[in-house]
Structure 1
């Protein structure tokens, strides 16, 4: 006789709920991209689309077995088929490359927060899927010449330890050393992500139906550009050109393929990812001016994310996560 597994924990419920939101959003975005993709692009997009649908079914099944309501997430009403494409050459794969980075981070975190074996295995599989698609997207974009590799460096020939007390300098009048490879990698990642994010915001802003949403998304476009310029300057000071690409631009279409609700959620998700990336960048940077710059960027992203949350709540677009029972009510 097989015993029933333990009920899912609050962490597992929360993470399944968050995964459902992200996966239902992704399938809606991919539906628009697949409609306009070349045969070569469509193969990669369709594979991730099919996996996302299967994952949504799995989450639905788990929640129903636990007696939990299935979230609304994003439905067919959040994508408009038959409209002109919103983004040009290769943006669909560039978007997939960016979003699978978000997925890898989310699902690896969710795996570590899972205690029931089947839930843990599920998030392990989601992490593995995202890693595989990200790898395919990376190689695809490299082959097409639209993804800039991080700079090559001379390989170290010996191990060194920091001797100079100014190694962690960089603020005000202290002498700045050249960036190390850890710092270059984190900056390159941030610039690359914001380049795609900026084009995403440009497209979203020009098709949003609500003026407040349009203004907010335009602010997101300017914030992405500012981050790209500010961090790119660190690379230029070390005589390294920041990543750039000729592909993946927003078209001139004014017809929205997505609902304002979906565009706001996608923007919110990327803002949360940006906060995490900035925290990581600040933590691993040993030149004092870098963590300081990351802190200012994080403040701007946090303020931007808060403004977005207020707009979503105002319009009834923010689905509430599962709530812990309010025990205080028992004492009243």
Structure 2
């Protein structure tokens, strides 16, 4: 993995003077803040690693539908990498290259399809959380729009995975609060 972009230490404290700080749609955009850069870079690295993992899962899954689901996930991850890389490169910042730790050529699964689906579901949930955190820490409007779009794309993918897990009988119902309305009916 490449190192994150280097930003020189500021010599003095600066305060935001204009609403333009929030801009980002068109025209003269301000440079990315260090928080925005670190969020973009972290999400980019996370997607590079996730794409590699899910590509490996796609090679070894026994079910054709699970394999196709994983291939789709790898494509989504690569698309997200291109979106995040573009934002960084527009600010003349370095972007991480694909890791040399690519999956092997093995087609023998060390895990069940159920376990791999559960793992991908957990990674997607964490990814949506990281995107949400980045959204909250990015005052530029174009970044907010990008993160919102990425969250929606992952959300649709997660829903399809949940449907697949339910139809295969793999999704356990988590503990829930009592249904008070139903209990009150007697």
* Shorter-chain TM band: over 0.9
Higher helix proportion, which one? 1
Q: Deviations over 1:260-306 (max 9, x none)?
A: 00110010001101110111111110111001000000000111111
Structure 1 gaps of 5+ residues are 1-146
How has the CA–CA distance of structure 1 residues 283 and 323 changed in structure 2, closer, same or farther, with 3 Å as cutoff? closer
Q: Give the number of the structure whose alpha-carbon radius of gyration is greater.
A: 1
- In the alignment, is the contact (CA less than 8 A) between 1:282 and 1:294 conserved in 2? yes
Instruction: Specify which of 50, 53, 67 is matched with residue 214 of structure 1.
Output: 67
Partner residue in 1 for 2:29: 176
Partner residue in 2 for 1:162: 16
Q: Number of residue pairs matched?
A: 185
- In the alignment, is the contact (CA less than 8 A) between 2:48 and 2:99 conserved in 1? no
State the Cα distance separating 1:246 from its structure 2 match.
4.0
- In the alignment, is the contact (CA less than 8 A) between 1:264 and 1:308 conserved in 2? yes
Q: Deviations over 1:112-159 (max 9, x none)?
A: xxxxxxxxxxxxxxxxxxxxxxxxxxxxxxxxxxx3221112110000
What is the TM-score of this pair, normalised by structure 1? 0.54
Instruction: Specify which of 88, 94, 98 is matched with residue 235 of structure 1.
Output: 88
For the pair 1:225 / 2:53, whether they are aligned, the reply is no
State the Cα distance separating 1:256 from its structure 2 match.
1.1
For the pair 1:286 / 2:139, whether they are aligned, the reply is yes
- In the alignment, is the contact (CA less than 8 A) between 2:49 and 2:99 conserved in 1? no
Partner residue in 1 for 2:166: 313
Equivalences for residues 1-332 of structure 1 within 5 A? 147-171=1-25, 173-327=26-180, 328-332=182-186
What is the TM-score of this pair, normalised by structure 2? 0.95
State the Cα RMSD in Å: 1.3
- In the alignment, is the contact (CA less than 8 A) between 1:169 and 1:287 conserved in 2? yes
